[in-house]
Structure 1
């Protein structure tokens, strides 16, 4: 490959559409270059996602860049995702710059009044990464051929020019029309942008490659750029989904033994919190859509949300709040972040910071109240000590790690806390405690709580006991092993099927 004595090499992965496979392609290249001895960093200048994470800098970035950093073997940093847009409601997004909130903005204000500030942050982060790494693998956003927005681009060819990056175009054959999407992308781009594209990858292929080859030869003649490879569709890979669009396509494992119901909130966020449960033996995941039915489940998880009040009202209007209240007498109900806030008695929002609805009544399953008034967003990595309440009594004294991303603070009244806070914030600054528990109902502000093996296994062993199955105890944390296997296998598939010599 290229010489380590060279200046930082920048490679950019763009797609013919959203969800074409850009994120996983970047992760694969990060692992490949890392294993070859290079210092590698992922970079996405602007990401719109509700799946986010708190870095060691106590900064918020998209979860996709966290996975890519893991593949590169480096600590994730806000410089890897300098701009994060988190959709809220009514065409409003919270804008995160270098890991901190810069305000809620509509699209017009962001593009016309904030663009230069965003561009400045992007340039600063790219400069830092170029200083510290040999290779930067950059992820684009959506399609580079959005002709109505070419002059306002902050994520595709504008960034490729800024980084002087070679571009690889990824096209999704699974959705159909792959050759039209490739040709259309090229035809809509200005010539100088077309010239940056050095190769094409066709992704998610399920068929006979011999049948595809005539089309590949023709598209190479049409666009004048080689197809570097065809990546097979591999459903065995278990990697985090980037956003709710891909969550819709994700097929969670069904299981006849034990079913954990997860509320598919309209503004669901950080749903990677439930990923480890999918790896648990005997456990199946059921996404419960608003407008659907809870059905026969053995536990209910209410995950995070970008708008607690609006999603709570949606659950109440659909009749889910009453059904969850009834089921909580028989099965565990667990809330994470916004889901935790919903389980309380009241959510106070006199200033309408969270939504246009103001203050609302909660489900009343935990004797706590949450306030959004005069509260700055809390972004921190956290460490807690289990207090051993309820079904987690065997975990007393056990440490749990997580991260916090919340804009409300919670005061406990009758309910007892779930964790003692050793690092981080918890229910509110300097409270010393996080979460609450009442009978079979509990909640926490700690995202990533089920990534803690002991905590997860105690929860799932409770479900196994309640169904008459043998508990598994603290053996075989398959989640961590399979995640690393998936990243390594992804890199292997990429190397086996893609000609990387174009990047030399």
Structure 2
């Protein structure tokens, strides 16, 4: 009989995704494991195999793709059947079974679509449970929000329709962890509280001896065992959403000051697929700095990433005179997805603040391309042959990535297309729809070789041993959590 284990939290960003990924990898050594998140909210998505519907591919949140890889199983849309992708102004694109269904405000989602979403989640869980020994389900936010208990798909409903045991995750970094756990258990519905098999405390710094008296008091007060205390550590898993990357106004770096080169990433208000630049930040001598729209381009290379709202983010950049600084920038420039669209001459069919009317918006004009928007959305996995030139000089062979975008971009004339027909390059400026570009080793190395060369900086030798983030998450959980009560 399949066991469903719900990894729930006392709050958002407490480490649920890391714990779930670590458990997926640990359990995968002995069992068939399926990750699951009934409802996710994130603009970091992946194109994966669709389980239902006529289309071969659909979208899921990046954390479920990560957890599927940790579980050594191909990712499908069943792993995240309901995905909400924020568009701004309280509205999200609702994706069910991997395909966009509607753009909805929160109230309209619960009034008009929640039952359909719940039915999709139940069916997806049942399909996974029919073949897996254990379903490792991840909750969302807090499991004890009194105003949401009657319609909490990722937590309450998953626990009930999945007949799940619950592992409660609490973050000690911000303080008050014992009150968080007690308060969460107190506010949970009785039938859910009885399902809690243990607590895991995350992000701990310091001596465990100082924590033990509090743990003893907590266990005596609640009757729930603390199964582990995980130290503050980062196994290197991609961030689920923009909460984990610096704010637009800070320009903070992801590496220590003094790195050999700096890759600037424009921090759009509606940034999406921010995980595209993660592999760059992991390279020795490379600092990735997130730049506000009005920040100076004090970097050696520039990436314009994806965005859930290309036109609004483009207008924000234009209002900050970003185009003038971009025109004067001399380093390599890569635009991915929405960032690629912005680098073109113009955007046609742009929605005017949700009115249904459209207009033409000028881009930055660094690439002779134009993009036409339509209601259709392209979601697919893609393999292209790299013709290394410009920012990718020296790269060869095939690279695999994925596309998730609205709008078709066409080249205006005989322009090099180094990453297939949906790409364009002029000099050191490259545009592409290919997400996951820098996950390809040949592409990443060629790009960074060019960045170091153009900056006149010697590239350091990478002598560090490659650390598999899935194994790192498994070690982090396995060494600090008693997983025996959690196994099937």
Contact 1:168 1:199 in 2 (8 A): yes
User: In the TM superposition, what is the alpha-carbon distance from 1:434 to its structure 2 partner?
Assistant: 1.9
User: In the TM superposition, what is the alpha-carbon distance from 1:349 to its structure 2 partner?
Assistant: 2.0
Is 1:438 aligned with 2:426? yes
Distance 1:415 1:320 in 2: 27
User: Which of 241, 244, 248 is equivalent to 1:243?
Assistant: 241
Distance 1:47 1:127 in 2: 18
User: In the TM superposition, what is the alpha-carbon distance from 1:390 to its structure 2 partner?
Assistant: 2.8
User: In the TM superposition, what is the alpha-carbon distance from 1:414 to its structure 2 partner?
Assistant: 3.6
Q: What is the aligned partner in structure 1 of residue 333 from structure 2?
A: 333
Query: For structure 1, which runs of at least 5 residues remain unmatched after alignment?
Result: 1-6, 422-432
Q: What is the aligned partner in structure 2 of residue 429 from structure 1?
A: none
Aligned alpha-carbon RMSD (Å) = 2.0
1:17-56 equivalences under 5 Å are 17-35=11-29, 37-56=30-49
Is the partner of 1:170 in helix, strand or coil? strand
Is 1:378 aligned with 2:366? no
Distance 2:350 2:322 in 1: 25
Residues 417 and 401 from structure 1, CA distance in 2 versus in 1: closer, same or farther, beyond 3 angstroms? farther
Distance 2:109 2:333 in 1: 39
Q: What is the aligned partner in structure 2 of residue 290 from structure 1?
A: 293
Residues 206 and 34 from structure 1, CA distance in 2 versus in 1: closer, same or farther, beyond 3 angstroms? same
Is the partner of 2:150 in helix, strand or coil? helix
Distance 2:172 2:13 in 1: 11
Deviation by residue 1:270-293 (Cα, 9 ceiling, x = unmatched): 0110011112222111111234x2
User: In the TM superposition, what is the alpha-carbon distance from 1:469 to its structure 2 partner?
Assistant: 3.9
Contact 2:410 2:422 in 1 (8 A): no
Is 1:369 aligned with 2:363? no
Q: What is the aligned partner in structure 2 of residue 489 from structure 1?
A: 472
Deviation by residue 1:454-493 (Cα, 9 ceiling, x = unmatched): 1111111112222334568xx96979x32x1x32122122
Contact 2:452 2:459 in 1 (8 A): yes
User: In the TM superposition, what is the alpha-carbon distance from 1:419 to its structure 2 partner?
Assistant: 3.5
Contact 2:45 2:273 in 1 (8 A): yes
Is 1:464 aligned with 2:452? yes
User: In the TM superposition, what is the alpha-carbon distance from 1:171 to its structure 2 partner?
Assistant: 0.3
Residues 155 and 251 from structure 1, CA distance in 2 versus in 1: closer, same or farther, beyond 3 angstroms? farther
Between the two proteins, the alignment pairs up a number of residues equal to: 475
Distance 1:173 1:290 in 2: 34
Q: What is the aligned partner in structure 2 of residue 346 from structure 1?
A: 346
Residues 258 and 476 from structure 1, CA distance in 2 versus in 1: closer, same or farther, beyond 3 angstroms? closer
Distance 2:452 2:390 in 1: 16
User: In the TM superposition, what is the alpha-carbon distance from 1:352 to its structure 2 partner?
Assistant: 4.2
User: In the TM superposition, what is the alpha-carbon distance from 1:149 to its structure 2 partner?
Assistant: 1.2
Is 1:499 aligned with 2:458? no
Deviation by residue 1:358-411 (Cα, 9 ceiling, x = unmatched): 4311101111111113x410000001112344343433x521211000001001
User: In the TM superposition, what is the alpha-carbon distance from 1:351 to its structure 2 partner?
Assistant: 5.2
Contact 1:386 1:398 in 2 (8 A): yes
State the TM-score, normalized to the length of structure 2: 0.93
Q: What is the aligned partner in structure 2 of residue 78 from structure 1?
A: 77
Contact 1:203 1:233 in 2 (8 A): yes
User: In the TM superposition, what is the alpha-carbon distance from 1:202 to its structure 2 partner?
Assistant: 0.6
State the TM-score, normalized to the length of structure 1: 0.90
Is 1:267 aligned with 2:270? yes
Query: For structure 2, which runs of at least 5 residues remain unmatched after alignment?
Result: 51-56
Is the partner of 1:372 in helix, strand or coil? strand
